[in-house]
């Protein structure tokens, strides 16, 4: 949320300067002023806000401030003069959100992220009554307690139920919300981005509500308790447009492979399931979504045994992290990994002491050329290079960079890493 907010803030500042200039110039557009009723509503909002940094100093009833469309963080429709956008993210504001804001019936965008409007209280129920809201960010605001179920009404209240005027983006991350995510979230069928991450005591229940959000593209439920979501994998598959999925620290139950093959999601690109104690049964789901995945993080789970060759079928994979599991054996060298993963750039296997084979320091059983200790090599650098090239699988003889954490290597066994494995790889991090 943070980075997004900062960008938005910059954007707002640039816009302010731009509008300021045109107003001072010729333009007849400059005549458009906010409605008195909406201005009063904003002033009422200001009254319940503690503003130590004077962020709202441009908000006032003085003559030179009379156009609220020029107030910091406020945007109006330039034809109607109605307030459509409030962006007060990361402004060090405290206090209550005044319900007077409901007067702004054309408000589409409300970003109060990264302030302290919660003060340990619940999200106010009236937030659910903005009938045209498309973007809501109340992340990082110390809201506590359960999420009001009425929030699911944000879509259904929309004028004539026109999807293109309905809620698209909800961010309630980094609060201290508790209890079940209300099933009514399934009513927000126009949602594209949903971020409820880092609400440690929030419970996703069986996440059935999620399967109704068929326009969802980004879903972040990091650190939300999903231990009851036994069908989470099938639910995710039912979201046809989902691209970015973050389910780290969710206590995810293991995948039970269904009787019929998984109907795979074709859209998923970023999949982060790290820190969940998942077993290798995840493969039955994972390898059914092979074609689209770009970024896969399965670190800190309970994967055991050999690294499956099927990773090699993930033709779009750029980042793969398998660290901190209990994997063993070699990195698959023959087809498919060797030739198929043409795009792989980052491959991390920290903490996997039972893995072996180039470029890892442990020789696999039966492997002829292992990695030679640097301190005990009498041959010329050129000969060494040739050996390493010979040891590398065909077609994988370039790599831009190798990142090795050497702390745990006994010095004589310090491997000399070749510049010649996994085609096009730019970073390989190994910490055994």
Q: 333 with 308: CB under 8 angstroms?
A: no
When binding is defined by CB under 6 A, the residue of 206, 281, 288, 398 that contacts ligand NAG is: 288
Residues 215-234 that bind ligand NAG (CB under 6 A): 225, 227-228, 234
Q: Could you say whether residue 380 binds ligand NAG (CB under 6 A)? A: no
> Is residue 284 within the footprint of ligand NAG (CB under 6 A)?
yes
Q: How many residues bind ligand NAG (CB under 6 A)?
A: 29
Nearer to ligand NAG by Cβ, of 40 and 279: the residue is 279
For ligand NAG, the closer of residues 46 and 82 by Cβ is 82
Q: Within 13 Å, how many C-alpha atoms sit on residue 323's CB side?
A: 17
> How far is the C-alpha of 338 from the C-alpha of 340, rounded, in Å?
6
Q: If binding is defined by CB under 6 A, does position 105 make contact with ligand NAG?
A: no
Choices 139-147, 152-160, 298-306, 348-356 (CB under 6 A): range interacting with ligand NAG: 152-160
Of all residues in the shown chain, the one whose CB is closest to ligand NAG is 287
CB atoms within 10 A of CB 343: 15
Close Cβ partners of 160 (under 8 Å, ≥ 6 residues apart): none
Q: Is 257 in the site for ligand NAG (CB under 6 A)?
A: yes
Tokens 């292992």 locate to 370
Part of the chain binding ligand NAG (CB under 6 A), chosen from 48-56, 57-65, 166-174, 258-266: 258-266
Buried b (16+ CB within 10 A) or exposed e, 125-162: eebbebbbbbbbbbbbbebbbbbbbbbbbbbebbeeee
Among 24, 26, 261, 410, binds ligand NAG (CB under 6 A): 261
With contact defined as beta carbons under 8 Å apart, do 310 and 334 qualify? Answer: no
Q: Which residue from 90, 128, 293, 422 is in contact with ligand NAG, where contact means CB under 6 A?
A: 128
- Residue 291 lies near ligand NAG (rule: CB under 6 A): no
Instruction: Indicate whether 164 belongs to the interface with ligand NAG (CB under 6 A).
Output: yes
Note whether 213 and 239 are within 8 A (CB): yes
Q: Phi first, then psi: give them for residue 144, nearest 5 degrees.
A: -115, 175
Distance between start and end Cα atoms, the chain: 34
Q: Which of 78, 291, 335, 354 binds ligand NAG (CB under 6 A)?
A: 78
For 43, the 3-state DSSP assignment is helix
Report, in Å, the least distance between residue 283 CB and ligand NAG: 7
Rule CB under 6 A: is residue 287 a binding residue for ligand NAG?
A: yes
Rounded to the nearest whole angstrom, what is the least distance from the CB of residue 126 to ligand NAG in the complex?
Answer: 8
Q: Please name the residues in contact with 97: beta carbons below 8 A apart, sequence gap of 6 or more.
A: 45, 48, 112, 117, 124, 127
- CB 258, min distance to ligand NAG, A: 4
Going through 322-370 in order, the beta strands assigned E by DSSP cover 326-330, 346-348, 354-356
Residues 302-361 that bind ligand NAG (CB under 6 A): 310
Mark the segment that binds ligand NAG (CB under 6 A) among 168-176, 251-259, 361-369, 424-432: 251-259
Q: Residues 28-57: x/- map of binding to ligand NAG (CB under 6 A)? A: -x----------------------------
Q: Which of 105, 121, 156, 426 binds ligand NAG (CB under 6 A)?
A: 156
Q: Which is nearer to ligand NAG, 214 or 284 (CB)?
A: 284
The DSSP string of 385-411 is: HHHHHHHSPTT---BS--EE--TTS-G
Kindly tell me which residue out of 376, 382, 394, 410 binds ligand NAG, with binding defined by CB under 6 A.
376
> By C-beta, is 258 or 329 nearer to ligand NAG?
258
Contact between 136 and ligand NAG (CB under 6 A)?
A: no
CA geometry: angle at 51 spanning 45 and 54, to 5°?
110
- State in angstroms the smallest separation of the CB of 302 from ligand NAG: 17
Q: Is 260 in the site for ligand NAG (CB under 6 A)?
A: yes
- The nearest distance, CB 162 to ligand NAG, in angstroms, is 4
Residue closest to 104 by CA, chosen among 65, 74, 61: 74
The verdict on 385 binding ligand NAG (CB under 6 A) reads no
Question: Using an 8 Å Cβ cutoff, are 170 and 188 in contact?
Answer: yes
Kindly tell me which residue out of 165, 206, 230, 353 binds ligand NAG, with binding defined by CB under 6 A.
165
Least distance from ligand NAG to the Cβ atom of residue 233, Å: 9
Please tell me the distance from the alpha carbon of residue 52 to that of residue 44, in angstroms, as a whole number.
17
Cis peptide upstream of residue 40 (ω within 30 degrees of 0): no
The CA distances from residue 235 to 195, 211, 263, in Å, are 17, 6, 11
Tell me which residues touch ligand NAG (CB under 6 A): 29, 78, 128-129, 150, 153, 156, 160, 162, 164-165, 203, 225, 227-228, 234, 251, 257-258, 260-263, 284, 287-288, 310, 376, 412
């Amino acid at each position: 949320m943070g980075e997004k907010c900062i960008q938005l803030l910059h954007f707002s500042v640039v816009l302010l300067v731009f509008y300021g200039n045109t107003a001072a110039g010729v333009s007849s557009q400059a005549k458009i002023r906010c409605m008195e009723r909406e201005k009063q509503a904003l002033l009422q909002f200001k009254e319940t806000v503690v503003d130590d940094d004077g962020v709202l100093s441009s908000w006032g009833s003085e003559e030179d401030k009379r156009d609220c469309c020029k107030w910091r963080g406020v945007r109006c429709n330039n034809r109607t003069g109605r307030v459509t956008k409030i962006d007060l993210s990361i402004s060090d504001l405290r206090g209550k959100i005044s319900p007077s804001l409901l007067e702004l019936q054309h408000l589409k965008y409300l970003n109060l992220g990264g302030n302290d409007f919660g003060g340990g209280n619940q999200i106010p129920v009236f937030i659910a009554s903005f009938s045209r809201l498309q973007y809501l960010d109340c992340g990082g605001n110390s809201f506590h307690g359960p999420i009001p179920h009425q929030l699911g009404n944000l879509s259904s209240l929309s004028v004539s139920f026109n999807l293109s005027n309905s809620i698209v983006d909800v961010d309630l991350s980094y609060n201290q919300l508790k209890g079940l995510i209300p099933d009514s979230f399934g009513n927000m069928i126009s949602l594209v981005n949903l971020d409820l991450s880092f609400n440690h005591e929030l419970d996703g229940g069986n996440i059935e509500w999620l399967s109704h959000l068929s326009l969802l593209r980004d879903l972040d439920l990091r650190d939300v308790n999903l231990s009851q979501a036994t069908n989470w994998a099938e639910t995710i598959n039912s979201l046809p447009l989902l691209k970015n999925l973050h389910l780290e620290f969710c206590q995810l139950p293991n995948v039970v492979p269904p009787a019929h093959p998984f109907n795979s999601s074709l859209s998923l690109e970023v999949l982060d399931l790290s820190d969940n104690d998942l077993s290798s049964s995840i493969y039955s789901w994972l390898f059914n979504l092979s074609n689209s995945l770009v970024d896969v993080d399965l670190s800190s789970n309970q994967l055991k045994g050999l690294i499956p060759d099927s990773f090699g079928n993930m033709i779009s994979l750029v980042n793969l992290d398998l660290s901190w599991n209990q994997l063993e054996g070699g990195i698959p060298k023959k087809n498919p990994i060797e030739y198929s993963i043409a795009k792989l750039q980052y491959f991390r296997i920290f903490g996997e002491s039972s893995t072996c084979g180039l470029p890892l320091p442990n020789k696999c059983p039966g492997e002829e050329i292992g990695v030679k200790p640097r301190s005990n090599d009498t041959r010329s650098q050129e000969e060494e290079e040739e050996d390493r090239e010979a040891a590398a699988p065909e077609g994988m003889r370039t790599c831009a960079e190798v990142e090795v954490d050497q702390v745990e290597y006994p010095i004589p066994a310090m491997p000399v890493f070749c510049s010649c494995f996994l085609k096009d790889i730019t970073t390989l991090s190994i910490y055994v």
